[in-house]
Structure 1
Amino acid sequence: MASSNSSCRERTDVSGGSPSTSAVMFSVGVLGNVIALILLEIQRRKHPRSLFHVLVTSLVLTDLLGTFSVSPLVLTSYLTNASLLGMNENRLVCGHFAFAMTFLSMVTLGILLLMAVERWLSIGHPFCYEKTVRKGCGYGAVALVYLCGALFCAAPFLGFGKFVQYCPGTWCFIDMDPSESQHRAFNLIYASCLLSMIVCTVLCNASVIYHLSLMHRRLKAQRSSVRRLRGHRSISEEEEHLLLLGFMTIAFVICSLPLVIQIYRNTLNHQERHTNSVIPLLSLSANPIIDPWVFIILRSPVPRLIWEKICKSTKSNEKKQRVQSFHPVLLRTD
């Protein structure tokens, strides 16, 4: 079966579509990231900046960078009826678009993995965390993620991997159905990096959930340890961080997994021609829009009020049960 994208690879005009979807995505993405940054700044002024706060801010800034890197080019392409290749003769616009898509997808997941590792160290290994981990580690780790992502995603400019244009001429990304062996190797490494980071993030979150459950059991068994635990960091705050990280991870998995699956399917079965669908690219570009709104919703007062009411009702029920269990004893002593 011939690839449906072959007619758009060298096209210099837009072959259809509407700019309204891209305009809405761009507006929602910018608005969400700006609101998220404002909330982070308000939180920074109220509380000392933590390592987790540094990583969340880096993630929001990365999403904002991704929105401004690709969406204006799509809108310009529609308005001028010129594809990304048709905007200039040396393919720089298409190369920039494809590099931004691959680079920011890796960096976003890399920062999510850093957040998961930070939670895993903070909850599972608190002594090591307090002794060795500082805010400066976060800045250095984010810089390293950016550097590694930039070096790897620049490889197609040197012939290892290939950037191509996708229909309707407003998208450029790596060739997901290459014929050359070096391009297939680049695709496998790229997809394997995404999949490995997803698996490691999920495992770290699972470990955090396990350690939080152990902390709850210790609290129930020994009520006197509450003050010591609160002196370090409250369990409710850890649960808020885990909830935010968990939903952001779920959003990225939903947005990126279709792309990973298609790259694996096309690369491993390269003898059969596949249809290059733009749907995985659309889902991948939706992640910078979803992330800030997940943060806004989960950091708003409404979820906290609901959580506080649940905790209060749980505590009141436990208190009633304790009173009822002691009531027969009080009757016998009278």
Structure 2
Amino acid sequence: MWDPNMSNVLREGTRGNNSSSSRGQEDSGSVSVAFPLAMMLAGLLGNALAAGLIFRTYRRKSSKRKHSFLLGIGALAATDFTGQLLTSPIVISVYVSGRRWSRVDPSGHLCAFFGVSMSTFGLCPLLIAVAVAVERTLAVRSPHWYSSHMGTRATCTVLLSIWAGGLCFSLLPLLGLGQYTLQWPGTWCFISTEPTSAGNLIFASTFACLGLLSLLVTFSCNVATITALVSRGRSRRSTSQGSKQWERITMETVIQLMGIMCVLFTCWSPLLVIMLKMIANHTSVERCGIPAQGFEAQKDCNFFLTAIRLASLNQILDPWVYLLLRKILLRKFCQVANAVSSCSNDALKEPPMILTADVKPDG
């Protein structure tokens, strides 16, 4: 799972700050322990607040038809919270020890645990986002089917299946398919893209393809939901049946869905794309920090490090995009839209609504 000699390579690479080929090490070394500490605190705080608000909303009698949606975003908050709690303290410990992994993990077993955690709590949020996107699409486009089939038990079954499937997939390297190795600049472990075995390439490619497929499905479902909302909003506007309330629901949901898509694609697509690029080019992050490598390879290393930080940032942004900033975003958007349209300020005084099966089709 872990090559102790790799820590020596990484350590020697980080010492070569005076050479032009070690600019990437300078960049990574400029990040102090304050960076992972701040990310951990922000992630834990945001997801804890979101989980508390979801639990309070779930207990209300008026929220029975929203249970599937609330369970989905609650599972997302719990997954992100657990992922931050398991991985961030390890990274902080490595930074405190002078960014030398061998001091914290001389046996290498912690590297395997870190890799499993990174894979599990990286893949599961993407799959949960797919589940939430499908749930919203069904709630809007097939509300009758949704009301009769999407109960609490079905939602829990889907979420448990996602967690179990993500964990089982992440454990495959422990069974010999793929490998978790120490990654440049020596502060974390992740899936190896080293072309030393077919198992490495298969596992890394599968992880990247599953992630990109999740993004594609989430994007497609959200576009389908937005299209249905806009189309139905136009028909309601022509009949003047609850048009103000429907405009508020539509605007709130469209803003939320677009925010979700922007955050997911910004945070995850760079990492998944660079993984596939490294697999195609038969390169790996394990070789980063070696002075003999070329400029293009070092550029990929720097991009990969930035990409993994963006993916980690997704755990922090998820609760704010899904729940905590929903009402604030709506209020600001309506203030701007009011100058050029008939966005009603009175609608903002009503309590915020979460789009679920409460939405009925016309007729």
What are the within-5 Å matches in structure 2 for residues 1-334 of structure 1? Answer: 9-11=6-8, 16=29, 17-46=31-60, 47-49=62-64, 50=66, 51-81=68-98, 83-224=100-241, 226=242, 236-237=248-249, 239-270=251-282, 274-275=297-298, 276=301, 277-295=304-322, 297-300=324-327, 302-306=328-332, 314=342
Q: What is the CA deviation profile of residues 111-150 of structure 1, one whole-angstrom value per residue up to 9, with x for unaligned ones?
A: 1000100011111111211121112222111110111111
Once residues 8 and 241 of structure 1 are traced to their aligned partners in structure 2, the CA distance between those partners, rounded to angstroms, is: 52
In the alignment, structure 2 segments of 5+ residues that lack a partner are 15-28, 288-296, 345-363
Q: Tell me which amino acid in the other structure corresponds to 2:180.
A: F
Compute the displacement of 1:10 (Å): 3.0
Once residues 271 and 72 of structure 1 are traced to their aligned partners in structure 2, the CA distance between those partners, rounded to angstroms, is: 29
Q: For this pair of structures, how many residues does the alignment match?
A: 305
Compute the displacement of 1:98 (Å): 1.2
Once residues 49 and 283 of structure 2 are traced to their aligned partners in structure 1, the CA distance between those partners, rounded to angstroms, is: 48
Q: What is the CA deviation profile of residues 206-260 of structure 1, one whole-angstrom value per residue up to 9, with x for unaligned ones?
A: 1111111221122023234x49x98xxx564465345334323321211111111
TM-score by length of 1: 0.81
Q: Is the 8 A contact 1:116 1:201 kept in 2?
A: yes
Compute the displacement of 1:297 (Å): 4.8
> What's the counterpart of residue 350 of structure 2?
none
Residues 239 and 122 from structure 1, CA distance in 2 versus in 1: closer, same or farther, beyond 3 angstroms?
farther
Residues 271 and 258 from structure 1, CA distance in 2 versus in 1: closer, same or farther, beyond 3 angstroms?
closer
Residues 104 and 239 from structure 1, CA distance in 2 versus in 1: closer, same or farther, beyond 3 angstroms?
farther
How much is the aligned-residue C-alpha RMSD, in angstroms?
2.9
SS at match of 2:104: coil
Residues 220 and 235 from structure 1, CA distance in 2 versus in 1: closer, same or farther, beyond 3 angstroms?
closer
Q: Is the 8 A contact 1:11 1:169 kept in 2?
A: no
SS at match of 2:189: strand
Q: What is the CA deviation profile of residues 53-84 of structure 1, one whole-angstrom value per residue up to 9, with x for unaligned ones?
A: 11011111111111111111111122234644
Q: Is the 8 A contact 1:113 1:200 kept in 2?
A: yes
Q: Is the 8 A contact 1:58 1:142 kept in 2?
A: yes
Compute the displacement of 1:13 (Å): 9.0
Once residues 161 and 230 of structure 2 are traced to their aligned partners in structure 1, the CA distance between those partners, rounded to angstroms, is: 33
SS at match of 1:48: helix
Q: Is the 8 A contact 2:97 2:103 kept in 1?
A: no
Q: Is the 8 A contact 1:178 1:267 kept in 2?
A: yes
SS at match of 1:164: strand
Once residues 107 and 152 of structure 1 are traced to their aligned partners in structure 2, the CA distance between those partners, rounded to angstroms, is: 10
Once residues 181 and 78 of structure 1 are traced to their aligned partners in structure 2, the CA distance between those partners, rounded to angstroms, is: 33
Compute the displacement of 1:292 (Å): 2.1
Q: Is the 8 A contact 2:10 2:184 kept in 1?
A: no
Once residues 308 and 168 of structure 1 are traced to their aligned partners in structure 2, the CA distance between those partners, rounded to angstroms, is: 45
Q: Tell me which amino acid in the other structure corresponds to 2:329.
A: P
Residues 179 and 314 from structure 1, CA distance in 2 versus in 1: closer, same or farther, beyond 3 angstroms?
same
Q: What is the CA deviation profile of residues 286-325 of structure 1, one whole-angstrom value per residue up to 9, with x for unaligned ones?
A: 111121232455234x334446665796167xxxxxxxxx
Residues 55 and 8 from structure 1, CA distance in 2 versus in 1: closer, same or farther, beyond 3 angstroms?
farther
Once residues 238 and 101 of structure 2 are traced to their aligned partners in structure 1, the CA distance between those partners, rounded to angstroms, is: 63
SS at match of 2:63: coil
TM-score by length of 2: 0.75
Greater mean alpha carbon deviation, residues 9-18 or residues 206-215: 9-18
Once residues 146 and 11 of structure 1 are traced to their aligned partners in structure 2, the CA distance between those partners, rounded to angstroms, is: 36
Once residues 241 and 62 of structure 1 are traced to their aligned partners in structure 2, the CA distance between those partners, rounded to angstroms, is: 23
* Identity of matched residues, %: 24
In the alignment, structure 1 segments of 5+ residues that lack a partner are 1-5, 317-334
SS at match of 2:7: coil
Once residues 33 and 331 of structure 2 are traced to their aligned partners in structure 1, the CA distance between those partners, rounded to angstroms, is: 40
SS at match of 2:190: strand
Q: Is the 8 A contact 2:105 2:111 kept in 1?
A: no
Q: Tell me which amino acid in the other structure corresponds to 1:150.
A: L
